[in-house]
């Protein structure tokens, strides 16, 4: 049902955030933060709250639909941010040791990850290494570059991917070489091979060419 006076671009923006949320949830690596898109949704939530508090009375028949849309945007934004925080918690050491992955975080996320790592290090020191007796210490302090070798690597496993726009010939790491991918195709491939399609949003902020399923 279309709400009178509703901006038709709202559903497009919410749909793009849903795509970003699904991709973030399914991807084994942290993806770049959709800062522009998240900002648009925050602005839309504010406008919707203003409309609910001013223009629409409690008896307005359109009010339930606006309330539903407002809750949908709030839930989706929270889910997207929580998914990123969970991934940062799980892979904080790996992310901070990788310039590429670290660059995908916001300044606030970097600060959060660094704080989390500091807390973990302090906990380990207080509960383990700080309790070792002199002379019984066979532990060696590892440099960050050495520590990276011991950390569990983020898995580059097989994922299923729906092609949302004609992508042409794409190398999927198959023995047969590249494959022509068209809108609507479902592809099973390693994440590293389809990741460029997930990061392929246009300069105009359009949607990515693929969605993990």
pLDDT tens string for the chain (213 positions)?
Answer: 344 445 556 678 888 999 999 999 999 889 999 999 999 999 999 888 887 777 777 777 777 788 888 899 999 999 999 999 999 998 888 899 889 999 999 999 999 999 998 888 888 777 766 666 665 555 555 555 455 555 555 566 778 888 888 888 887 765 546 778 888 888 888 888 888 888 876 445 567 788 888
Number of C-beta neighbours around residue 34 at 10 A:
22
Which of 151, 174, 200 is where one domain is finished?
Answer: 151
E-only strand ranges, the chain? 158-163, 168-174, 177-181, 186-190, 210-212
CATH number (domain holding residue 160): 3.40.5.60
Do residues 171 and 134 share a domain? no
- How many CA atoms does the CB half-sphere of 138 hold within 13 Å? 1
- How many CA atoms does the CB half-sphere of 193 hold within 13 Å? 19
pTM of the model: 0.77
Do residues 19 and 95 share a domain? yes
Domain limits at 25?
A: 1-151
Do residues 44 and 63 share a domain? yes
Name the token pair of 95. 């992310």
Identify whether the C-beta of residue 25 lies closer than 8 Å to the C-beta of residue 84. no
In angstroms, what CA-CA distances link 14 with 20, 46, 75? Answer: 10, 14, 11
Name the token pair of 13. 């923006």
- Going by the DSSP 8-state scheme, the letter that residue 203 receives in this structure is T
């Amino acid at each position: 049902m279309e709400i009178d006076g509703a901006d038709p671009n709202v559903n497009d923006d919410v749909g793009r955030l849903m795509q970003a949320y699904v991709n973030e949830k399914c991807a084994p690596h942290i993806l770049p933060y959709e800062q522009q898109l998240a900002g648009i949704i925050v602005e839309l939530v504010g406008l919707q709250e203003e409309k609910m508090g001013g223009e629409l009375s409690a008896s307005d028949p359109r009010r339930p639909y606006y309330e539903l849309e407002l809750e949908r945007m709030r839930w989706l934004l929270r889910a997207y941010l929580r998914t990123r925080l969970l991934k940062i918690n799980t892979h904080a050491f790996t992310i901070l040791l990788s310039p590429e992955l670290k660059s995908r975080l916001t300044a606030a996320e970097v600060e959060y990850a660094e704080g989390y790592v500091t807390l973990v290090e302090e906990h380990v020191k207080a509960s383990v290494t700080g309790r070792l007796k002199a002379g019984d210490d066979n532990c060696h302090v590892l440099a960050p570059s050495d520590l990276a070798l011991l950390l569990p690597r983020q898995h580059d496993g097989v994922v299923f991917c729906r092609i949302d726009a004609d992508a042409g010939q794409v190398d999927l790491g198959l023995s047969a070489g590249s494959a022509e991918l068209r809108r609507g195709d479902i592809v099973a491939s390693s994440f590293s091979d389809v990741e460029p399609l997930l990061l392929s949003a246009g300069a105009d902020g359009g949607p990515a060419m693929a969605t993990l399923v």
